[in-house]
């Protein structure tokens, strides 16, 4: 069990390219941003972005104890995405609390994972784009621990693999930050199961 808070940040210029397994990062044009609290993609489990917010509206969103498929539970999801025309800046953030994903929620193919609180945030200014993740109470099988400076840090969870503080420098110049991204491999890539917890995307800043 991982009790202490983990906070990690990196500027977009320092982000290493990472291979996404079955999930496509959000895209955002200059001045645009978005965030969601939870999403799942897979042949046996599909969950659209929960508590979605966008700079084009709604700029804030939240859900409390949402009805989710068996084996997946969260307490609260809160998101926001805003663009400031005066500065040109974009800021997005997503939080998810009391997250529990059990073996049932993973189609019987993974180990249970719990997170007391997950937060992903990003911002774009005239100086560039940056992002960070905060995780607390990460409960993993086998008592695994995570380095405090972890960025795009991956490790095995049952048959699956989890990446924390996943930061993707998008081709459009923006940044996507996923607090936690769990992938369960299928027989082919089309059968992979992907669960993303707390995701924020920021496009580049606009000219003030």
Best CA proximity match to 177, nearest among 29, 36, 6, 19: 36
Higher-confidence residue of 16 and 131: namely 131
Calpha distance 178→191 (Å, rounded) = 21
- Alpha-carbon distances, residue 17 vs 14, 104, 128, 180 (angstroms): 10, 32, 17, 17
Calpha distance 159→179 (Å, rounded) = 20
Domain that holds residue 50: 6-11+31-202
Calpha distance 142→130 (Å, rounded) = 32
**Cα first-last separation, the chain:** 46
Give me the pLDDT at residue 18, please: 31
Residue 141 lies in a domain: yes
Residue 107 lies in a domain: yes
Higher-confidence residue of 197 and 1: namely 197
Q: What is the pLDDT of residues 57-109, one digit of tens each?
A: 999 999 999 999 888 999 999 999 999 999 999 999 999 999 998 876 565 55
Q: Cβ distance 83 to 90 under 8 Å?
A: yes
pLDDT > 90 in the chain, percent: 58
* Total domains, the chain: 1
């Amino acid at each position: 069990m991982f009790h202490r808070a983990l906070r990690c940040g990196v500027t977009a210029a320092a982000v290493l390219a990472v291979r996404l397994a079955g999930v496509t990062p959000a895209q955002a044009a200059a001045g645009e941003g978005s965030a969601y609290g939870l999403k799942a993609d897979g042949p046996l489990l599909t969950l659209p972005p929960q508590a979605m917010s966008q700079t084009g509206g709604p700029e804030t969103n939240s859900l409390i104890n949402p009805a989710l498929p068996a084996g997946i539970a969260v307490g609260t999801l809160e998101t926001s995405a805003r663009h400031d025309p005066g500065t040109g800046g974009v800021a997005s953030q997503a939080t998810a609390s009391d997250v529990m994903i059990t073996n049932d929620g993973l189609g019987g193919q993974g180990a249970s994972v719990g997170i007391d609180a997950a937060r992903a945030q990003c911002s774009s200014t005239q100086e560039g784009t940056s992002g960070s993740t905060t995780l607390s109470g990460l409960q993993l099988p086998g008592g695994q621990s995570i380095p405090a400076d972890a960025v795009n840090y991956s490790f095995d969870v049952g048959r699956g693999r989890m990446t924390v503080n996943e930061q993707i420098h998008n081709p459009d110049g923006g940044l996507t930050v996923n607090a936690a991204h769990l992938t369960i491999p299928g027989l082919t890539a089309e059968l992979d199961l992907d669960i993303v917890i707390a995701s924020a995307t920021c496009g580049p800043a606009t000219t003030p």
